[in-house]
Structure 1
C-alpha cells in the first residue's frame, strides 16, 4: 500500500514530533484541525503538517493513520476513525493494555482497516537514538509501516508476533520508569514532612546517582506530564491483573500523579511544589 499520505491523530507534543519524522522521510502528513486548540494548530504548522477539515476527510485522503493520544482516549479515537469507514492501515501507538489493543483492533477491523500495534518509548524524537517505535502485528503490514520511519530520528523496531506485543513492552517499560518517579516523589514528601529533604537528596546523590530521587530536576518533569501518566498507570494496573499480578503499585502511582493534574503542560513547576502537593491531604490523626 502507498503510504505517501499519512494521517496523524492528534499532533500533541509527542504526536507532532512523530509526524514530523514522517514528513522528513518524504510523506505528506495530514491532520484534522476540527475542534483542535490554537496550540495544537501551531504545533502542526511547525511540524509541516497539512490541515484537513474533518476526520472523514483525513481518512479518505490517507492510506495510513497514526493514533498518538492519551491512553484514555485511544478507544474513542479508534471508534471515530472506524465510523468514517476507513479501510487502510491504522497504527495505534498509544500506551494501552494488550486487552485494550484487542478492543481497538476489533472496532477498526469491523470497518475494514488493518491494525498495527505500536509502542513509543523515549521522549519526542528530536535527537537520533533517543526514541523507538515498536511495532507488532501482521508482518507485511508492519514492514510497510517500518519503512515510513526508516532512517529518521524515530527508530522503528519490529517485534515478530501478534497484536499486543508492542503494547505489552511499552507498558512494562513505563511501569518501571514512571512508577519510579512516583516513588521518588513520595519518599521526598516523607522527608520534607520531617525536615530532612535536603539530606535525603544528598544521600541519594551519593548512593543512587542518576535516579529521580537523586536528581530532582528529573522528578520535576513528571508534573507537567502527570495528566497523561495517570491513565497510563491505570492501563498498567489492568494489564498486571490480566497477568495474575497485583496492580497495586500502578494504582498508587495513578493516585500520586492525579495530585498533579493542575500542573498540566507547565514546564516551570518546581519539584518542591510537586512534593508540597502530596502533603496537602493528610489523614486525621487517630486517638
Structure 2
C-alpha cells in the first residue's frame, strides 16, 4: 500500500469524529477495541475503523498515532505506546498543559518517535468551520498531520515553534470557555438559595442569551462532560502556575465539576439537578435547588 495506516487512541465522542475526518480524507484508521465500551465499539464500526488485536499490532501497523483521551490518562497512554515499540509520529491531541507535554515527549526520548503537540478547540468535528486542530513541533511531522486533515471538518492550523504551544493555546481557550459553565452554575445556585432563580434566568436570557447562564439547556450539557473537564481544569491550574498566573479560577472550576461526577455521560441530566448539586452540603442552609428550570 502507498502509505501505512493511522491509529486512534481512543475513539470516544471527540476521538471518533477526529478519526472520521481522516477516514473521509482517504486514510485507513485502525483502533484497539480491547477494554472499550459497547458504545465505543459501535462508534468505531459506524465510521469504518479497523480493529486490531493488541497495542503492539497497532504500533506496528501505523506510521501515525493519534491520542485523543481524557487528560488524566494522556501520560499513561503515551507510556504504553512507547512500551509497544511504536516508531512514527505520535500526536498528543489531549487537553494537557505544556509541562505534561514535556513529560510525554520525554517518554519517547531516545526512540524513533516524533511527538507532535495537538490542541483541539470546538465541538466534535462534523461540519466545516467550527473545530480546529492546532499543531506544533517538528516541521516535517506537523506537515504530515496537517495533510491528514486538510480539507476536512477538522481544520488544521500550524503554530511555529516547539512542542507545548498548541497545548497552551488549547488550555487558554478552555479556561474561558469551560470555566464559564462553572460560573453560570455558581450564579444560579446563589440565586436559587435566595429564591430568585427564575428571575435570574429571565434576566440572563434577555441580556446574555448565548451564554450558559442565559440558556439553561446549554448549561445542562456540562453535567455529562464534567468528569472529563475536572482533570482538564487541573491541567489549566498547573499551566497557570507555570506562567506565574493565579490558578484559583481553574481550581474552583475543578471543584465544581467534581460535584457532577455522578452524571458522567448522562445526557438526560437537567440544569436544575446540576444547580441542586452545588447547593447540597453547604453550611449556610441554602435551598437544595430544584429539579427543573424554565426553558427559553
Aligning the two structures, in what range does the TM-score lie when normalised by the shorter sequence?
over 0.9
User: What are the Cα deviations for residues 220-277 of structure 1, in whole angstroms up to 9, with x where unaligned?
Assistant: 1100000000000000000000011110100000000001011111111110010001
* Cα displacement (A) at 1:33: 1.2
Question: TM-score by structure 1 length?
Answer: 0.97
User: Are positions 1:163 and 2:163 aligned together?
Assistant: yes
Measure how far apart 1:217 and its partner are: 1.3
8 Å CA contact retained: 2:71, 2:94: yes
Find the residue that maps to 1:109 and give its secondary structure: coil
Flag structure 2 segments of 5+ consecutive residues without an equivalent.
286-296
1:131 and 2:135 correspond? no
| Partner SS state of residue 140, structure 1 | helix
Q: CA RMSD in A?
A: 1.1
CA distance in 1, matches of 2:223, 2:197: 18
Contact 1:83 1:111 in 2 (8 A): no
Question: Equivalent residue for 1:212?
Answer: 212
Structure 2 counterparts to residues 51-70 of structure 1, below 5 A:
51-70=51-70
- Pair 1:221-2:221 in alignment: yes
The Cα shift of 1:208 comes to 2.0
In structure 2, C-alpha distance between the alignment counterparts of 1:98 and 1:156, rounded to whole Å: 19
Cα deviations across residues 175-232 of structure 1 (Å, max 9, x unaligned)? 0000010000000001011110010011112222211111111111100000000000
CA distance, structure 1, for counterparts of residue 268 and residue 129 of structure 2: 26
- Please, which moves more after superposition, 213-222 or 168-177? 213-222
Deviation of residue 3 (structure 1)?
Answer: 5.3
Structure-2 residue corresponding to 1:24? 24
Per the TM alignment, residue 281 of structure 1 is displaced from its structure 2 partner at its CA by: 1.4
State the 4+ residue runs in structure 1 displaced beyond 4 angstroms: none
State the distance in 2 between where 1:37 and 1:111 align: 32
Residue of structure 2 equivalent to 1:179? 179
Matched, 1:7 2:4: no
Distance in 1 (CA, whole Å) between partners of 2:193 and 2:214 is: 18
1:201 is aligned to: 201
Q: Matched residue of 2:108: which SS? A: helix
The 1-side partners of 2:169 and 2:24 are apart by 27
**Secondary structure in structure 2 of the residue aligned to 1:96:** coil
The Cα shift of 1:284 comes to 6.0
SS in structure 1 opposite 2:278?
A: helix
